[in-house]
Structure 1
Amino acid sequence: MKYLDEYAKQYEDCAWLPFEELEAFMKEALIHAGVPREDAEIISDVLIESDKRGIDSHGIGRLKPIYIDRIDDGIMLPTTKIEVLRDKAAAAVLDGHNGMGHVVSHKAMSMAIEKARTYGIGMVTVRNSNHYGISGYYATMATRKGLLGITGTNARPSIAPTGGVENMLGTNPLVFGMPTDEEFPFVLDCATSVSQRGKIEVYGRAGKELPEGWVIDNEGRSRTDTLQVLKDLTTGKAALTPLGGIGEVTAGYKGYGYATVVEILSAALQAGSFLKALNGFDENGNQIPYPLGHFFIAIDPEFFMGLETFKKITGQILRDLRASKKAPGEDYIFTAGEKEYLAYQYRKEHGCPVPPSLQKVMITLRDRWNMDMSWDFEKK
């Protein structure tokens, strides 16, 4: 398969660390930052899952800038105090009180799964949370139990609405996980923008320019200057384009619409914050928390025509799609979740790739807390 032949080439400048080694480092760093051990285990499990699946934008790369730095800045609390605001039949509402997003989200999806076992479907919403890592982690919490999992979250404003240039909506992923009769579930985990901030950060660490059409400026022109874009997204001088791209010709209104759906489900059901209230700054330009909202849905196929029937039909749909006629020059058709499965198969043997920029971050955090850890890449 051409994809696998090319896979490792993109990581030629990286050190490869075993899953257990990288996860242990992230867990200990979080504990040193003030996160209780039990919570640190949940968070590091979410982060390493991202690296295991080849989603390099949301694993070790997010540890310092999104979590530890925000704890240091006082805009994210290392201890998560979860309050159950509503809990009735198949629904519940939780308040994360500005704690760690992974922790309250793990509880929320666990509750949704439990409710689905009883009622066929369970939905739990969350407010006053923080960045919760890869959305697909929570969807696969459900698929591992033989359930369908759906989740989404709002985020700091990044996307401009179709016809506009002001960043109003977050990248707002809308994520689905479904069990199959294959070795891996169907998992569609993607933002409602053409790209997202984490991927732009990956380009920045690699010193690469962005593709045309990912980002626009206040005049509606495409931007490709990666590092300045990352700054301008925060100040409102740049905005991401929704799925479909710039304008209506390529159906950018569809991505805009889906992003709006996620914004509503992440705010209205839980009486949470939305749009510009999530930009992380007060009227004086001071940093403040990002009071994000999330939603989690679990569906038990046993309340319909049964799990085995669902898995068999879902698997056959995916196999038929892969077997369909291929475009010239293409040797394979993928279905959602398959590339992540292949990445996991490769990485469980070779480890997770850590580029030089993140190696420096790991050393910095290790030395800050005098952690008893060392890595082979330090010997080079």
Structure 2
Amino acid sequence: MENKSNIVDWETITNFVTDVFKAYGVPEEDAKICADVLTESDKRGIESHGVNRLKPIYLDRIRAGIQNPVTEFEIVKETPTTAVVDGHNGMGQVIGFKSMTMAIEKAKKYGMGMVAVRNSTHYGIAGYYATMATKAGCIGITGTNARPSIAPTFGVENMLGTNPLTFGMPTDEEFPFVLDCATSITQRGRIEYYSRIGKPTPAGMVIGRDGKTMTDSDQILADLTSGHAALSPLGGVGEELAGYKGYGYATVVEILSAALQQGKFLKALTGIGKNGEKEPINLGHFFMAIDAEAFMGLEEFRKTCGDILRELRASEKAPGHDRIYTAGEKEYDVWMQRKDSGVPVNAAVQKEMVKLRDELGLIQYHFPFE
């Protein structure tokens, strides 16, 4: 049961995040996009990428001068079905929103569209952009590279980012099929969340340079930055549990996030300069939209997709389990629980919100946890 005094209603939290971004120099329309992406994460129960990242990921980077509050969205090259965009280290959410919008528009006209992005910043949950496509009757595919975190199979050095490979499919149900997950066993954001709430990282998710597993969340974050720890790819360490599959998919995302748009990759994405100074991370993304109507029709696709998911959920359950889920279902369940209440805010984020309000003079806000 969530503590009601820790829950901030959606209108308040959305307006507050928007106003904070505006106070940091983000134009109003862009600030609304950024706030929508962050709160959407909390609506889906993905706290690791929600409002708790407002200050440490976005505001601190703007303040450090490694992320630009005003986004210069430059189209470097364009064809009827493709585009290359340079984001000039603006707001990743804005770059992502505009890029997927372009991909959808191309798909609606020509059946498919793809936009590749370079020189961007953290764009929030990848599922947000895949869902943009599903709402438009398209299959959505997106991915992004990230700061080096994953060690390749048989290696211990962090080389690849957590590199999500994300798919969204429209269905005839109340929610789309959205598979949004990292190509590592866990993602850096989850470890950041563990650190913020004082929880150890489960054994097996992270290995040190000595090849041994690590569990101290604070130490892991420090060692990931310094290169003395690495995340395990999906499947885990070595070949026995098929870690090479996660390694392979992470590499696919790295290539699509760098090669098409001639962007930065691997160790060039540390965000740390030669003298230890912070510098822009220069991330790459890709966005694909496929119009289901261009095949056998949108409604036919939606029904078949729904039929597949319903059959999966209706299949025989393992002992002790009374429910099988399909991707996007748990997130929809969380939204059903939270839609009339709001977002639960932990103690650390509460302090940050109060401090931001006071520093920025946003005196119109009073939070239930005060």
TM-score relative to the length of structure 1: 0.96
Letter in 2 for 1:252: G
Partner SS, residue 125 of structure 1 = strand
Q: Is residue 2:329 matched to residue 1:343?
A: no
Aligned equivalents of 2:319, 2:217: Cα separation in 1? 32
Contact 1:14 1:355 in 2 (8 A): no
Deviation, structure 1 residue 108:
0.6
Aligned equivalents of 1:314, 1:164: Cα separation in 2? 39
Q: Of 95, 98, 101, which residue of structure 1 is paired with 2:86?
A: 95
State the Cα deviation string for residues 315-348 of structure 1 (Å, max 9, x = none).
0100000011111111100000000000001011
Q: Which residue of 1 aligns with 2:31?
A: 40
Partner SS, residue 85 of structure 2 = strand
Contact 2:5 2:368 in 1 (8 A): no
Letter in 1 for 2:225: T
Give 5+ residue unaligned stretches, structure 1. Answer: 1-7
Q: Is residue 2:95 matched to residue 1:116?
A: no
Aligned equivalents of 2:5, 2:193: Cα separation in 1? 13
State the Cα deviation string for residues 180-223 of structure 1 (Å, max 9, x = none).
01000000000000000111122112211111111110011110
Contact 1:13 1:355 in 2 (8 A): no
Partner SS, residue 202 of structure 1 = helix
Deviation, structure 1 residue 14:
7.0
Q: Of 155, 162, 169, which residue of structure 1 is paired with 2:146?
A: 155
Contact 1:14 1:354 in 2 (8 A): no
Q: Which residue of 1 aligns with 2:264?
A: 273
Aligned equivalents of 1:179, 1:57: Cα separation in 2? 25
Deviation, structure 1 residue 12:
4.9
Q: Which residue of 2 aligns with 1:62?
A: 53
Q: Of 285, 298, 302, which residue of structure 1 is paired with 2:276?
A: 285
Contact 2:10 2:341 in 1 (8 A): no
Q: Which residue of 2 aligns with 1:105?
A: 96
Deviation, structure 1 residue 351:
1.2
Q: Which residue of 2 aligns with 1:214?
A: 205
Q: Of 261, 269, 274, which residue of structure 1 is paired with 2:252?
A: 261
Q: Which residue of 2 aligns with 1:377?
A: 369
Q: CA RMSD in A?
A: 1.0
**Runs ≥4 residues deviating over 4 A:** 11-14
Deviation, structure 1 residue 350:
2.3
Percent of counterpart pairs with the same letter? 62
Decide whether aligned partners of structure 1 residues 192 and 14 sit closer, same or farther in structure 2, where only a CA change above 3 A counts. Answer: farther
Q: Of 291, 301, 320, which residue of structure 2 is paired with 1:300?
A: 291
Letter in 2 for 1:327: A
Aligned equivalents of 1:85, 1:339: Cα separation in 2? 39
Aligned equivalents of 1:83, 1:350: Cα separation in 2? 39
- Number of residue pairs aligned between Structure 1 and Structure 2: 369
Aligned equivalents of 2:367, 2:292: Cα separation in 1? 46
Q: Which residue of 1 aligns with 2:62?
A: 71
Deviation, structure 1 residue 118:
1.0
